Structure 1
Amino acid sequence: MEMSLTRINEVAIILYALCVLLYFIDFLQHNRKAKRAAFWLLSIVWFLQTIFLFTLMFETGRFPVLNVFEGLYFYTWVLVTLSVVVNKFIRAEFILFFTNVIGFIMMALHTFAPAHYVSAAVSSQLVSELLLIHITMAILSYGAFSLSFVFSILYTIQYNLLKKKKWGKRLLRLEDLAKLDHMSYILNIIGVPMLLLSLILGMIWAYIKVETFNLYDAKVIGSFMVIITYSVYLYIRIVRDLRGKSVALLNIASFLVLLINFFLFGSLSRFHFWGS
């Protein structure tokens, strides 16, 4: 029963991560399809959380709020419930995105913190699975940033060919500038929240597992630098509404920061052995 309930939470965590990603897309682009899909995922998360909550009530014979982990879960359930209500009746993308980021953090803390579980075997397995999810999400975000980098490289090549009026087969084989810029932008919209969620899960894992963990670790600082760099890109692209070669070059520079973080800062980290 303990492991079955945990599996429900793990499925909910994955769906919740997708939900936050879609809300981020809607927050930046006012994308109705993304918001609708996010709402249905959020509804599924709420349903799974409610099953867990009532099962816990049945198992304990009381309302589960008498310790910090039970209270944490109930707090997460309240946040998800409020998000469902707000999503249904109020247009508030800003509130929805940041509320669900908080909810995701609280749910991850509840699900993977080993002190919540009686079984040491279950605790150890969950911590390992937390690390697996963290690494997988980080690699997926790196993949999105890598492809975005390729589109920016193609953009600069296309831009230079057009500026020098070099017409030929190479020019015809490349996509038009607007499409290259748009694809690079979309991939960064996907990569930024995914890397943020990965960083949240990674910090939770390190807090649980690493005795000497601190926020001044090289890899942690580097990861925040990557998020900040790409956030500046999104700010310039969306708020300032700037496009063109300068934005493409900023995206290329952001990817170089990512590479420095992955190879250099990963080797300097005290606990990030897989990135070195």
Structure 2
Amino acid sequence: MNLTSNSRVIGRLLQELSWVGSTIKEYRDGGRGFENVLTAEVFLALDFLPRQFFLGAVLEASHGATKVRTLLQREIEQAEFTLLPGNFYLTPSGRVNQKELAVQPDGVIKTPSCFGLIEAKRIKPSSFQPEQLSREFVLVMQEALNRNQEPILWLVLGEEPPVSVQRHGRLDPVNAIELYLESVLNRTENHNFEKSVLLQQVHEVVCWTTWQTIKEVVHKQVCDITIPEPSVRGCVQRLANSVVQSITWHS
């Protein structure tokens, strides 16, 4: 860990909030309902909880990308998490965010075999930006290829698909990706991807779960786990309960 950089989740959340501007007043209720606050609260706890028993179970209960998701689950104890990682750029030579094709996932997961992005939406109704899923899909494919790893794009949703996409109503995530994939590829630098080939792979890369499912899985797992040492058991119970309470509070 680089202790000279802002590598802590709370620090990165504060850095992100520092750019909010006048709408920061909306966070006065503890950030209730905001996806960045919810993501930080839930995934920070999941990072610290026994990985296979909790985060592994959450992955197992997710849908889609079965092969890579199973591989990620097997390697979850070795995973490195970066929550709220900031911007990636598909067109680094651009001079402003739009030309640079900025992508801002909510998290990055790295294991020996996998490179994954987490995209979380708030529990209350919200929409993806028109190109958002296309950009994130291209980014995860590009980053995984550069690392010789398996790509996975993990969507954490307020409700089951179809998802709401601005100007396009409700779409299956795969269809939302296809909608702007060619446009994003045409503006992305340093790749040899072909749209037709990527579309054949999208079902193997994109998976999803809901906040409600995470809540149910964590609640079940903390009830089922056996930990003889009272102090350790209490620690695990407090962390797991914080996940359940956060999801309930933000709902």
TM-score normalized by the length of structure 1: 0.27
Query: 1 or 2, which has the higher strand percentage?
Result: 2
TM-score (norm 2): 0.29
- Relative contact order: is structure 1 or structure 2 higher (C-alpha 8 Å, sep ≥ 6)? 2
